[in-house]
Each structure stands twice: as C-alpha cells, then as structure tokens.
Amino acid sequence: MAINLQKGQRIDIGLSKVCVGLGWDPNTSSSSESYDLDASAFLIGSNGKTPNESFFVFYGNQESPDKAVASSGDDTTGGNSDGGDDETLTVDLAKLDPRVEQILFVVTIYDAAKRRQNFGQIRNSYIRIYNAVTQEEICKYELCEDFSIETGIEFGRLYKRNGAWRFEAIGQGYDCKGQFGLEFFVQKYT
C-alpha cells in the first residue's frame, strides 16, 4: 500500500529502478492560455551542484549522460493524462554516476510571466514514486499549499543516506523570474 507523505516527510525507497510521476490539472477558468508545466530533474553532487549541465534532465535534454534518468517528454497542455501522471522521469539508481548524491525534481510553468500564470491556478498537483517494474506505487506527495505567486516548485528529491536511497517531499515554491522559469533552477544548481 502506498504511503501518502506530508511536506518534509521522508521514506526509504528500497528499489533501484523507480519512476517519478508528476501530475497536475490547470484551473481552466484562470487563464485563456494553456498551461505548459515542465518536470525536470537535477542530478546533484556533494557541492550542491550538477557535475555539469548534461546532468540536468528536462524537455531539451531528455536523458542524463549516465543513462540513469530519462524524461517521458514534454506534455505542453497537461491534458495527456486524464487524471494520471502528466510527465514521468524514469530513474535507475544503479546506473547513477558516483558523483551524484541526490536527484531533485522540480516543476516550472513555461512562459509564466508572459501568460500571467502561477501555481495558485493549478490544482491536484502531486509527485509519486512507483516501482518501474511492477508499477506499484510506493509513495505520493500531494501539494496542498496555495502558491499564488510561485511559478516553480521543488517537489521532492531522492537522496543517499548511509548507502541507501530515500525520498523527501519538499514542496518549496519560488517566484522564478525569467521567461521560462527553468533559468532560476539552472542558475541555482548548475
């Protein structure tokens, strides 16, 4: 049975191959423009940064150089899932470059400033971890906060502790200045 996490909670993963599903539903009455949310992963070393830019997985770089993290691609409308995951990142922890100590999962709103969009206009946002082989859900974190100015969110992270991989529900929002929102996180982690 899957565990529903609260912000800040952690759980042991116990698997080497997992999928990270991220989902959301735009509040259709909020904007005449479609919502293009983007799920990304930053593979981070002990210094709090990626070893290089290729360890940032997103719609423009859909696989890490060690082949440990891969993106399902860009769902530009949030309509691909009909209630399920909008974008998925597949993770094979056994393939991770040894310099990587954590994988941070973020979601940003593409062109948020121009479209005047923020996470306060998004509902049913979540991140879930599930077994890549059996599809069994391990844990899920539903974003419950009202992010009325935030355009980027650090949803959660996989991290190594005492040789074992764990997941932490973060739920930290940011007002990401910039046209695409991702620049904020790129500057922070690369």
Which among 75, 89, 83 is positioned nearest to 21, based on CA atoms?
A: 89
The 10s digit of each residue's pLDDT in 43-78 is: 999 999 999 999 999 989 999 999 999 998 765 555
Q: Where are the domains of the chain?
A: 3-189
The hierarchical CATH code for the domain 3-189 is: 2.60.60.30
The pTM assigned to this predicted structure is 0.89
Number of other CB atoms surrounding residue 131 within 10 Å: 15
Which residue in the block uniquely carries the two structure tokens 């997103």?
58
Q: What angle do CA 187, 25, 39 make, to 5 degrees?
A: 25
